[in-house]
A and B are shown apart, each in its own frame.
Chain A
């Protein structure tokens, strides 16, 4: 039994290469998943690694370190393209969870209902992975999460950051979440949208991603294409645009309900992204 909280990334990667054990940051997914009598033998805590926490401007855009919490995201000064991400951050559990949980942990946990994924998908986020043996590689977020609780991270790798290309300056964004209560609620469906509009209010560029309606949250390219030229206040979401979704029925709602309301949710997210409340 051991608990490692290395101060440097090199040390962390060396431990990961040895079979680092359970990687832990905020702990908000690790502990609830821990079954009776199944405490991991070895923990690798990444929260004390120098330089891993924080949001930085880079040449290409923005870099969010792996130990960055949701509260850090909420407090950061970021362009409007990140509004959806900030709104999602406020919907992650509760203040207690936002203070501990990390955005990268949310990705690594790979829940179909992870609030962080749709806003990052519309930001074209990429996940940065590092290992002692192979150095650093970058994987688009859409490829990083490969299924329910499955990611492209190898055992000897650690996620070190999410990198985001600079969103267009005129692009607004919004996040919509449907749940059965306020606070501490797992989404029934969620949508993140970002749009740019011309002077007449017609959409010139659109990105829409939906979560909790398929094993992995996804962008909706057919919808995005169909939105060009539409009035953002009353965008039409054709059911055919949502045919890539495959929601399930569970305790939170039926598949048919999800498939239906997500269309409304998309329209609302698009309108809000364009600044229409």
Chain B
């Protein structure tokens, strides 16, 4: 059967309803479901069967819709996440459990997880853990660490409670419902079907000159191609970057490309024309040139210089010095030293960068996934040469960010294309494009020497870290600055020197990734701490506790906190598990089994917010005449839970239940700037702004009502009721003149962390607060094969005050999963691991049980004592695993990932 346009129709049952859709030969079922049948609950993460986000049931069996020709659905029954949630009691009960466990963070993998789990639960209502893992092994999640998903499928006791939502209440995510039903709208879910699409022409070489050919002829000779954009089409400046002094990346390369995957042009056309477009037909001639593909070749004589004014390809460096490291090391009773390396790590969020743009009343509106809407707006202002009043950024839901969605990606192409054509446009990166062109974790090359006195006191620390910052600066300067401040770890070190350098290469730009270089430096420091403890004959945990920072001790920057230093409490919390697990490991290792167990420990710290730079957040709130309490929430929730945390803080300050709050935003037209979701700053900085906003709103109300500051407020049905010392006062909101935004009461408050600049020796007050963490891991090593299997984690985190303990656990488990990936399997190699089957991230079968110990050492600056957490959660993970491998085998791994071949080689090295 054909439709009126001659396109063959395919008929099948979709969630119980007979449907008919036009389908081109060979079209993927996923495409037809999303674009022709509106099933946008089905998510596409890779189009290669590697991520499982697009899982649907075909006649009850889970399949990847991206690998299924739509014609194979003919006459069959297809079920999707949204349909199951509408009508299937198994799915509905599972959805409730997902919410109660916090099993959905960003929500992009949730439909695939739910569909796969429903297929399992229909056959087996009480699956064992391994059965859940077998059933869900084909769906990748980058946020949760999978444990809450396993708990939800198996029906474990909920980790959430139904509560008012005050600070400390483990309530469900307030924005969770749409994630679980599949209705959350991510970057690729905004554009209407049929919208013009953009295809970006990218460099196939790490370095090459290029000449564009006959673009007019190219457009004219192809049906459905509307326009081609190149550097010549940029009305403003062809440059972007996240740090004002380092705006060095072009939207479209000019004359020479500096990394494989760099954009040189964009083709705009109908979906059919873009689908048919063969990139080889694009008129460009390339002249391949010798690239600098690592920091050593980039610094060698004759290497290409990537940027003017950055001699030796040194982008910038960082430096912290206190005391005299060399002198102390010369006098130390024992010293250890090491050389540690790591490669590029890809963020691998399951949502590739995606968005939609249109022109509305002469303004350009961009709907895309982002961690930093106001920074996007500022970047477009420069690129488009337009006043910011003409630009609106409306973030979509974000299917994972972890740092990389701080930088712009699709936004300039969308805005330029919408302006060029005057029509709505959409752009979704393929998985390969996402991996090739967006930022990565910096590869590191670290040399470190540490000394100690016989009693175990640290005595001298000399660190040099070179970081491959790739072709453009991105957040490289931040990494260079942060590393020397953090490389000591949360320990007292009097004689300290740490130097870092960011080196340009013809690699993809390295930028922000959970921890900004600190996870790399922690590997060197925490592994050498174990070596030092061993040399001293000390217990590794006792050695760390002995040297841990406490209140009133200066950090390596000379910053003295009189309160809030919680690392000792974190380390001490691990003592019981340390003793028990080490004993159990010894039992295993003396039982004649083939594998070896090892227990490792490591700690970490992380300063919340920008380093010695202004870092404000503003939160607006108000009460409408009808009694609606509105919270303008511009702090991007990228899955971590900012919507819930900010609302809980605000509700507590105002004194109302969180369920009463209506959240508005994020939208640069209506939400004030709450800064970027980065540097573990939203709970701390935006949380403080929310607290101030709630307190100010409350002050305005109690003053107007002439009741005491302690009065209990109820806001509902157009009135505020205040109960004050047993007396009830009622205030009719209709009696107040509302402002232009409809508010009877309003508040807008800003918080900026108090920091002080760092001097030439890195001395100062870089952060108003640090958060602290210590991880313990048990691993099983198969010495003959070189495989490492983590069996259990115990993670102690000082969060000051857990605003929502369920969300704290979610961050810890997800961070550990990423740290585990970095430790054991993840390395991005341009041209070689540009997809999710060659670049491996942990699956549900790789993450063992994780016990989270929440330590609450309140911080005087944090809202209700709270500290940031987002980055802390993966800093100790990789070194803890490496230390556990050492404990198990005696082999010291100094380059991550510790893949089976590297582990086996290290063990063989011992055998020689």
Residues of A within 8 A of B (CB): 1-3, 5, 22, 24, 26-28, 30-32, 36-43, 45, 47, 71, 90, 93-97, 99-100, 178, 180-186, 188, 250-254, 257, 260-261, 264-265
Q: Determine whether the beta carbon of B25 is less than 8 Å from that of A94.
A: no
B30 — nearest CB in chain A belongs to which residue?
A31
State whether A253 and B64 are in contact (beta carbons under 8 Å apart), knowing that A180-B824, A183-B843 are contacts in the complex: no
- Inter-chain contacts of A90 with B (CB < 8 A): 134
Q: Determine whether the beta carbon of A261 is less than 8 Å from that of B904.
A: yes
B880 part of interface (Cβ distance < 8 Å): no
B905 part of interface (Cβ distance < 8 Å): yes
Q: Determine whether the beta carbon of B52 is less than 8 Å from that of A37.
A: no
Residue of A1, A31, A250 contacting most chain B CB atoms (<10 Å): A31
Return A25 CB to nearest CB of chain B, in Å: 9
Q: Determine whether the beta carbon of B846 is less than 8 Å from that of A32.
A: no
Return B43 CB to nearest CB of chain A, in Å: 14
Q: Supply 14 A–B pairs (Cβ within 8 Å), ascending by A.
A: A28-B64, A37-B281, A43-B69, A93-B49, A97-B49, A178-B787, A180-B897, A181-B840, A183-B137, A186-B838, A251-B832, A257-B900, A264-B784, A265-B785
B837 — nearest CB in chain A belongs to which residue?
A186
- Inter-chain contacts of A41 with B (CB < 8 A): 25
Residue interface mask B836-870, A partner, CB < 8 A = 1 = 01101011111000000000000000000000000
Q: Determine whether the beta carbon of A97 is less than 8 Å from that of B64.
A: yes
Q: Contacting B67 at CB < 8 Å: which of A1, A31, A71?
A: A31
- Inter-chain contacts of B842 with A (CB < 8 A): 181
Q: Determine whether the beta carbon of A37 is less than 8 Å from that of B72.
A: no
Of residues 513 through 560 on chain B, the ones whose CB sits less than 8 Å from some CB of chain A are none
Q: Determine whether the beta carbon of B832 is less than 8 Å from that of A37.
A: no
State whether A251 and B838 are in contact (beta carbons under 8 Å apart), knowing that A1-B25, A96-B62 are contacts in the complex: yes
Residue of A1, A96, A184 contacting most chain B CB atoms (<10 Å): A96
Q: Determine whether the beta carbon of B900 is less than 8 Å from that of A31.
A: no
- Inter-chain contacts of B382 with A (CB < 8 A): none
CA gap between A28 and B833 in the complex, in Å: 19
Q: Determine whether the beta carbon of B72 is less than 8 Å from that of A45.
A: yes
Return A161 CB to nearest CB of chain B, in Å: 20
State whether A3 and B66 are in contact (beta carbons under 8 Å apart), knowing that A184-B837, A251-B838 are contacts in the complex: no
A250 — nearest CB in chain B belongs to which residue?
B832
Q: Determine whether the beta carbon of A253 is less than 8 Å from that of B62.
A: no
State whether A28 and B784 are in contact (beta carbons under 8 Å apart), knowing that A43-B25, A257-B905 are contacts in the complex: no
Q: Determine whether the beta carbon of A37 is less than 8 Å from that of B276.
A: yes
Q: Determine whether the beta carbon of A257 is less than 8 Å from that of B67.
A: no
Q: Determine whether the beta carbon of A95 is less than 8 Å from that of B116.
A: yes
- Inter-chain contacts of A178 with B (CB < 8 A): 785, 787, 900
Q: Determine whether the beta carbon of B275 is less than 8 Å from that of A45.
A: no
With A27-B67, A183-B137 given, can you name 17 additional A-B contacts, CB distance below 8 Å? A1-B26, A5-B74, A24-B26, A36-B278, A38-B278, A45-B69, A94-B137, A96-B64, A100-B63, A178-B787, A180-B897, A180-B900, A181-B842, A181-B846, A183-B844, A261-B784, A261-B786
Q: Contacting B48 at CB < 8 Å: which of A32, A38, A45?
A: A32
Question: From DSSP, what is the main secondary structure of chain B's interface residues?
Answer: loop
State whether A251 and B845 are in contact (beta carbons under 8 Å apart), knowing that A27-B68, A185-B840, A264-B785 are contacts in the complex: no
Q: Determine whether the beta carbon of B62 is less than 8 Å from that of A251.
A: no
Q: Contacting A28 at CB < 8 Å: which of B49, B134, B844?
A: B49
CA gap between A186 and B838 in the complex, in Å: 8
Q: Determine whether the beta carbon of B49 is less than 8 Å from that of A2.
A: no
Q: Contacting B135 at CB < 8 Å: which of A26, A42, A95?
A: A95
Q: Contacting A184 at CB < 8 Å: which of B25, B50, B116, B897?
A: B50
B75 — nearest CB in chain A belongs to which residue?
A48
B46 — nearest CB in chain A belongs to which residue?
A32
B133 part of interface (Cβ distance < 8 Å): yes
State whether A36 and B277 are in contact (beta carbons under 8 Å apart), knowing that A24-B69, A27-B67, A94-B137 are contacts in the complex: yes
Closest 6 CB pairs of A and B: A94-B138, A182-B845, A183-B137, A37-B278, A3-B25, A257-B901
- Inter-chain contacts of B900 with A (CB < 8 A): 178, 180, 188, 253, 257, 261
CA gap between A162 and B273 in the complex, in Å: 41
B215 part of interface (Cβ distance < 8 Å): no
B712 part of interface (Cβ distance < 8 Å): no
Q: Determine whether the beta carbon of B138 is less than 8 Å from that of A97.
A: yes
- Inter-chain contacts of B430 with A (CB < 8 A): 36
Q: Contacting B843 at CB < 8 Å: which of A27, A47, A184?
A: A184
Return A252 CB to nearest CB of chain B, in Å: 8
Q: Determine whether the beta carbon of B69 is less than 8 Å from that of A27.
A: yes
Q: Determine whether the beta carbon of B138 is less than 8 Å from that of A184.
A: yes
Q: Determine whether the beta carbon of B837 is less than 8 Å from that of A31.
A: no
- Inter-chain contacts of B116 with A (CB < 8 A): 95-96
Residue of A37, A41, A188, A253 contacting most chain B CB atoms (<10 Å): A37
Q: Determine whether the beta carbon of B55 is less than 8 Å from that of A253.
A: no
- Inter-chain contacts of B846 with A (CB < 8 A): 181-182
A90 — nearest CB in chain B belongs to which residue?
B134
- Inter-chain contacts of A42 with B (CB < 8 A): 25
A249 — nearest CB in chain B belongs to which residue?
B901
B904 — nearest CB in chain A belongs to which residue?
A257
Return A177 CB to nearest CB of chain B, in Å: 11
Q: Determine whether the beta carbon of A96 is less than 8 Å from that of B52.
A: yes
B829 part of interface (Cβ distance < 8 Å): yes
A38 — nearest CB in chain B belongs to which residue?
B278
CA gap between A96 and B119 in the complex, in Å: 11
Of residues 133 through 188 on chain B, the ones whose CB sits less than 8 Å from some CB of chain A are 133-135, 137-140
Q: Determine whether the beta carbon of A39 is less than 8 Å from that of B785.
A: no
Of residues 72 through 126 on chain B, the ones whose CB sits less than 8 Å from some CB of chain A are 72, 74, 116, 119
B48 — nearest CB in chain A belongs to which residue?
A32
- Inter-chain contacts of B371 with A (CB < 8 A): none
Q: Determine whether the beta carbon of A26 is less than 8 Å from that of B67.
A: yes
Q: Determine whether the beta carbon of B47 is less than 8 Å from that of A251.
A: no
Q: Determine whether the beta carbon of A182 is less than 8 Å from that of B138.
A: no
